[in-house]
Amino acid sequence: MNAYEQLIKFLRPNENVEAIVFGPWGWGCDEIDELVDGPIPSDKQGLVMSLKSARPLMQSWKFNIGSFDAPTYYAVYIWTNERVIWAIRTDGFTRLSSVPRNPIQCTPEVGW
């Protein structure tokens, strides 16, 4: 499963991606990880893109699961009609996380 497929699986029924922005690979610190050309070229990082434009860039990597090393995925913000989504790393595990896009009655989670 690649990053695009992971995102599609995470979406709810009738949820549509409106925009996506990719950041740097790994920890995202300039001292550690420079913006390098890879699956997502440095000139595409930081730009607001449609899912259609982002899809080809998400085919050769994934949001890695279960590693205590540096993250092996791109930082990302994804806006849908319902939520804002990003990748989070907790205790060596990576998962997609989200918050409602607009204020709603809900039960917040601890430890996003």
pLDDT of residue 27: 64
Cα–Cα distance for residue pair 22/45, rounded to 1 Å: 5
pLDDT of residue 29 exceeding 70, the answer is no
Q: Does residue 80 sit within a domain?
A: yes
pTM confidence score: 0.84
Residue range(s) defining the domain that contains residue 63: 3-100
Helix (H) or strand (E) holding 94, with range, is strand 93-100
Cα–Cα distance for residue pair 54/63, rounded to 1 Å: 15
Q: Does residue 108 sit within a domain?
A: no
Phi and psi at 51, nearest 5°, equal -65, -35
Helix (H) or strand (E) holding 9, with range, is helix 3-10
Q: Does residue 105 sit within a domain?
A: no
Q: Does residue 106 sit within a domain?
A: no
Total domains in the fold of the chain: 1
- The sign of the dihedral angle between the CA atoms of 80, 21, 24, 7 is positive
Q: Does residue 57 sit within a domain?
A: yes
Task: List, for residues 32-68, the tens digit of each pLDDT value.
Answer: 445 455 789 889 999 999 999 999 999 999 887 655 6
